[in-house]
């Protein structure tokens, strides 16, 4: 290291020697005259796990969009979730499966076809034309259980939904966090 570099390190930036000292104590590293950080194996393992977690949000191929509200033109939260699902699926080349969940049978819900048309329209506005549609109507199961079953059965990579479904008590956030086998993206209202 040149005399200029040593003088700069000592005078202009006094924090570097202090940083070297503390890191050498805590990590048992010898820096010599340079601040070259070498991470121990445990730190490298944590970085690898963090990288795998980040990959889960960028390397997905199949997204689930659950629709739990009864609004035939979709609630603001469902519209936001549809737009987000379409944008992410388009960006990463993923497929979308929409699952419409309601306690009532299709026949008891006269505006059901309007809701399906609205879902198609919102996804196409996001640039996504083709998607798989599942209808889980009148089964008596809780929406959270249905979302978990579909995500597990179809080996989905991500669930995208609005916090609105949780605030409206259609979906139980505790069960969602515990039983959904893939990352869940909850969009704020």
**Please, which residues bridge with residue 137 across strands?**
102
Range scoring the smallest mean pLDDT among 15-19, 68-72, 144-148: 15-19
Is it the case that residue 50 has pLDDT exceeding 80? no
Give burial (CB, 10 Å; 0-12/13-18/19+) of 185.
Answer: middle
Instruction: Compute the average pLDDT of residues 91-114.
Output: 88
pLDDT attached to residue 54: 58
Domains of the chain: 3-38 (no CATH), 56-187 (3.40.50.620)
Backbone CA torsion sign across 134, 140, 144, 146: negative
């Amino acid at each position: 290291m040149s005399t200029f570099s040593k003088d700069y390190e000592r005078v202009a930036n006094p924090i570097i020697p202090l940083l070297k000292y503390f890191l050498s104590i805590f990590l048992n590293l010898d820096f010599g005259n340079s601040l070259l950080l070498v991470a121990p194996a445990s730190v490298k393992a944590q970085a690898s796990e963090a990288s795998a977690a980040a990959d889960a949000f960028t390397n997905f191929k199949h997204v689930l969009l659950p629709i739990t509200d009864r609004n035939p033109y979709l609630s603001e939260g469902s519209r936001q979730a549809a737009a987000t699902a379409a944008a992410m699926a388009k960006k990463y080349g993923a497929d979308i499966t929409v699952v419409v969940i309601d306690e009532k049978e299709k026949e008891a819900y006269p505006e059901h076809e309007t809701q399906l048309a609205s879902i198609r329209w919102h996804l196409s506005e996001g640039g996504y034309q083709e998607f798989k549609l599942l209808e889980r109507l009148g089964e008596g199961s809780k929406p959270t259980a249905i979302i978990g079953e579909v995500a597990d059965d179809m080996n989905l990579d991500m669930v995208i939904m609005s916090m609105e479904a949780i605030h409206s008590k259609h979906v139980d956030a505790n069960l969602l966090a515990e039983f959904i086998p893939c990352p869940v993206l909850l969009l704020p209202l």
